[in-house]
Chain A
Amino acid sequence: MGTFITKRLLYTILILLAASLLIFSLYAWTPGDFITGNIKLTPERKAELREIYGLNKPLLERYGIWMKHALHGDFGYSMAQQKPVFTLFNQYIWNSFLLAAVSTFFTWLIAVIIGVVAAYRQYSWFDTLVMVVIFAAMSLPSFFIGLFLIKILAVDWKWLPPGGMLTTGSNATGMAYAEEVVRHMALPVIVMTLLGIGSLTRYIRGNMIDVMKQDYIRTARAKGLKERQVLFTHALRNALLPAITLVGFELPALFGGSLIIEKIFNWPGIGQLYMQSFGLRDYPLLMGFTVLIAILTVIGTMLSDILYRVADPRVRLQ
């Protein structure tokens, strides 16, 4: 296992290096740069500013400069936001993480429960009904369901706030603050859970159905174990094994922010900031964020490989 991890780490570094060069080039090749879009500047001033920012240098030189700083732990300074990229991450990523973590938790919790029950009672009215509802929820566009819920729950019935993370101007601290945030995140979490639940439920239901047909389940039942124990200890654990792969993908998603949800609910997350930076060609922020996500993706996959090994002794890592 030790050699496996060392080897994987080496590959990881190579992959990250190649990825960063590719990402850097793609951003640099996208037409226009940070200066282009500012319609208040004269052509002369534009040239001057490109000189100041080093945007007129050749691509590889720019990449080299960026890499040198990145290796020293410096992701640079956002051009548009006028702040260090790390400061911005710190200000925005945790908000995104909060939404993603809570909705991922609910998504998995609900999906596992529904998936197991639906598999156990395959083709029952419950199974059919749940699948119809879940497919309906999954097929709705997020902006539609988001705006619809805002209209009903926030504007018409006034149960929940229409957006943001805090009541404007609020000075709440401690528990009162936590309560405020929970009220504000209710709507986006509902929407994100609704949208995410469908595919995961199908996945778990499918795996459960497969596992339930296995010999060891029959054996467990024959031993006289309680049905509950058969279902959750023997069947579910095995059914969840393939789901470990998904964990690897969840990691970057937890920190990546959600572009549409954040915009609709005015949530101060990283997704919105990233979108905006792309339009402005705020290179340091774009690079920093994309590389961060790349790192998380690589770590995520590695993590899921290791977890696999831990969860299933049959798997050998080489």
Chain B
Amino acid sequence: MKKSISTVSAILIAGSMLLAACAKNDNAAGPSQASGGASPSASASSSASASPAAGAEGLILASDLSKLPGTAQQRTDTIIVGLTDPSGAFTPYFHQSGYDGNVSSQLFTPLVSTDDKGLPIPALAESWDISPDNLTYTFHLRKDLKYSDGSPVSADDVAFTWTILYDKAYDGDAQVNTLGVKGGEAYKEGKADSIEGIKVIDPLTVSVTLEKPNASALIVLGSDVLSKAYYGKEYKPGQLDYIKNLHAKPVGTGPYKLEKFIPGQEVRFVANEYYYKGKPKTEHFIYKTSEGDTWQFIETGEIDFASFSATQENIDKLKSLGFVNILPYTPSTYGYLQVNLEHEALKDKKVRQAIAYGLDRQSIYVDANQGAGAVANIPSSPISWAYTEDGINPYKFDADKANALLDEAGWTKGSDGIRQKDGKPLSIHYLGSKSKNTDIFIAVAKENIEALGIKFEPEVFADFNSLVSKVEGGDYDLVSFSTPMLTDPADGLLQFVDGEIKGYDNPKFKELYDKGLATSDIEQRKAIYKETFQLLNDELPVIFTNYKKTVYAYNGRIQNLSVSPFNGIAPSLPDWSLK
């Protein structure tokens, strides 16, 4: 037990920071799927995602189901999935933890879902129309939709949901309020009683008008629907506190209903008979809280589904269990090195390109990681519909090219072997979160970067929050980050226009960004994003590093399981059944 405060705080600081990194950093690619509120769920079959670009293999079937532990064998109407740590706030748009987002994605169905490429497909909304000027979106709801308490879903509910996200008391991280719905600001400031741009046309039809076209709006707006009768009973503009009392008692449209939440232990669900596609095949579903290692729970059959980093070691160990199917998966995120563009040396594109050439990313992210990764060169995941390698410089590891670029940029080697310009030595202060991958990065990067005649000063943070605030303070040159889960290609580009990447101001890029959002025609957008990616790939406002690769291991008795790259297990869960 605790001997003294100092020991405790030492452990605390060391330990907690690890967690911090997990909780915020990884929840996008976390133990299971969808993070955040805006991640839509539901809708039909998505075939297991084997992404060709990432070179993933297909599903590996269990070799010997007779090895299945008794605990798992005895379960006939229950499926258990591990989930790091849901907190109990299960209202979409209002939870602060991505894990609560996972829970609410089983309790709610969005209006519009996405397929395996991230393209919109109907869910609660049967269809939608987009006006020719790309400003007005009209959603047509399916007939006879019901909430889990049996009450009907109507267009009023949709309007109510969008409205409260514009309330000035709204403190969540939903994206709807960034779209610029007409009259949204006026409502927020209390100058209007309702939002001008939102119109309920009839009980099954609702439309919304934006101030500026935004192609990602369809999916952002087409998210979960909150019942006005339930969540809006006590609503007054500027007052949302009452909703906190409803977090633990959700009423939704998802395949499952909340049965019981046992804090720190499990979230129990029971099939929702009002689900629009019919009651799910398996009566009970449980998210089991599993902080830390999940191996022991998979091995003893206590959980049916868990995700692991796709290292050879993990895959071999999973294969040797014999009773799990193994499904490879590439999360829709990308990793990058944020570059401090306010520092003189790094303002120069050539220096950034030199670093990209000079870093052996293949060794760092793929080889040292036992294959659980791939090298990234653009701000898009290989599973996105916008992904392209056409005209993209792969920045293959090439120290000579890197040296030549640095020479060209005017950084010449001094007598001590360090490059300098105008009497200033070239050095790089690198920040990373404490993890095995950062250790690998530092080991290899130190060698690579010093070989170019650049001083390399790594600094490792056990606490993600401290790392970010150091970056915000500007005291760094390079820092490793990974994006949260990205649905629309524009999501991965947002950071270059919204001021997050300080010092990047390229009118050409801004024009392309707006153009990409101004049309909803996929072919046109593809072309625009190709050009955008080529531009960023050349300019490198950040240095793109890697894609993660994970594998899902699940009980071989489960049938019809698939994992949607953008929505996780939620879309296929209603079809899961036990053999």
Q: A residues bordering B, Cβ < 8 Å?
A: 30-33, 36-45, 49, 52-53, 77, 79-83, 88, 91-92, 95, 100, 103-104, 147, 150-151, 154-155, 158, 161-166, 168-169, 192, 195-196, 250, 252-253, 256, 258-260, 263-264, 266-269, 272-276, 278-281
Shortest B456–chain A CB gap in Å is 23
Contact check, A33 vs B465: say whether CB atoms are below 8 A apart: yes
Contact check, B2 vs A253: say whether CB atoms are below 8 A apart: yes
Q: In chain B between 456 and 481, which residues have their CB closer than 8 angstroms to a CB of chain A?
A: 463-470, 472, 481
**Cβ of B284: which chain A residues have Cβ within 8 Å of it?**
169
Contact partner of A279 among B23, B178, B290, CB < 8 A? B23
Per-residue interface assignment for chain B, residues 1 to 36, with 1 indicating a CB less than 8 Å from any chain A CB and 0 otherwise: 110000010011101111111011100000000001
A153 to B263, CA, bound (A): 26
Contact check, A268 vs B24: say whether CB atoms are below 8 A apart: no
Contact check, A280 vs B11: say whether CB atoms are below 8 A apart: no
**Cβ of A155: which chain B residues have Cβ within 8 Å of it?**
296, 299-300
- B132, CB-defined interface residue at 8 Å: no
- In the complex, which of the residues B16, B75, B178, B303 has the most CB atoms of chain A within 10 Å of its own CB atom? B16
Shortest B468–chain A CB gap in Å is 5
Closest chain B residue to A81, Cβ basis: B87
Number of chain B interface residues as a range: 35 or more
A256 to B96, CA, bound (A): 25
Contact check, B1 vs A164: say whether CB atoms are below 8 A apart: no
Closest chain B residue to A163, Cβ basis: B296
Contact check, A168 vs B266: say whether CB atoms are below 8 A apart: yes
A-B contact count (CB 8 A): 190
Contact check, B465 vs A31: say whether CB atoms are below 8 A apart: yes
**Cβ of A31: which chain B residues have Cβ within 8 Å of it?**
463, 465-466, 469-470
Contact partner of A42 among B12, B18, B88, B499, CB < 8 A? B499
Contact partner of A36 among B289, B293, B296, B472, CB < 8 A? B472
Q: In chain B between 45 and 72, which residues have their CB closer than 8 angstroms to a CB of chain A?
A: 69
**Cβ of A250: which chain B residues have Cβ within 8 Å of it?**
1
A268 to B262, CA, bound (A): 9
Contact check, B75 vs A32: say whether CB atoms are below 8 A apart: no
- B173, CB-defined interface residue at 8 Å: yes
Shortest A165–chain B CB gap in Å is 6
A162 to B288, CA, bound (A): 13
Shortest B128–chain A CB gap in Å is 25
Contact check, B494 vs A162: say whether CB atoms are below 8 A apart: no
A82 to B286, CA, bound (A): 21
Task: Pick the 6 closest A-B CB pairs, nearest first.
Answer: A279-B20, A268-B264, A32-B465, A82-B89, A32-B469, A162-B296
12 pairs from A and B in contact (CB 8 Å cutoff): A53-B171, A83-B89, A83-B244, A92-B263, A169-B75, A260-B11, A263-B291, A267-B264, A275-B15, A279-B20, A279-B24, A280-B23
**Cβ of B80: which chain A residues have Cβ within 8 Å of it?**
168-169
**Cβ of A150: which chain B residues have Cβ within 8 Å of it?**
296
A157 to B219, CA, bound (A): 50
Shortest B266–chain A CB gap in Å is 6
Closest chain B residue to A268, Cβ basis: B264
Given contacts A36-B468, A275-B16, contact A82 B23 (CB under 8 A): no
Shortest B104–chain A CB gap in Å is 12
**Cβ of B481: which chain A residues have Cβ within 8 Å of it?**
39
A275 to B467, CA, bound (A): 17
Shortest B55–chain A CB gap in Å is 27
A267 to B96, CA, bound (A): 22
A162 to B87, CA, bound (A): 22
Contact partner of A81 among B88, B178, B465, CB < 8 A? B88
Contact check, A280 vs B173: say whether CB atoms are below 8 A apart: no
Shortest B69–chain A CB gap in Å is 8
Contact check, A259 vs B12: say whether CB atoms are below 8 A apart: yes
Contact check, B23 vs A276: say whether CB atoms are below 8 A apart: yes
- B169, CB-defined interface residue at 8 Å: yes
**Cβ of A53: which chain B residues have Cβ within 8 Å of it?**
171
Given contacts A49-B171, A263-B291, A279-B16, contact A39 B264 (CB under 8 A): no
Q: In chain B between 248 and 266, which residues have their CB closer than 8 angstroms to a CB of chain A?
A: 262-266
A281 to B23, CA, bound (A): 12
Contact partner of B463 among A44, A88, A267, A279, CB < 8 A? A279
Shortest A19–chain B CB gap in Å is 11
Given contacts A82-B96, A279-B20, contact A52 B466 (CB under 8 A): no
A258 to B289, CA, bound (A): 18
Shortest B469–chain A CB gap in Å is 4
Closest chain B residue to A162, Cβ basis: B296
**Cβ of A37: which chain B residues have Cβ within 8 Å of it?**
20, 24, 464-465, 468
**Cβ of A195: which chain B residues have Cβ within 8 Å of it?**
1
Given contacts A44-B498, A81-B87, contact A279 B464 (CB under 8 A): yes
**Cβ of B1: which chain A residues have Cβ within 8 Å of it?**
100, 103-104, 192, 195-196, 250, 253, 258
Contact partner of B498 among A42, A88, A276, CB < 8 A? A42
Contact partner of A278 among B12, B95, B247, B494, CB < 8 A? B12
**Cβ of B291: which chain A residues have Cβ within 8 Å of it?**
263, 266, 272
- B273, CB-defined interface residue at 8 Å: no
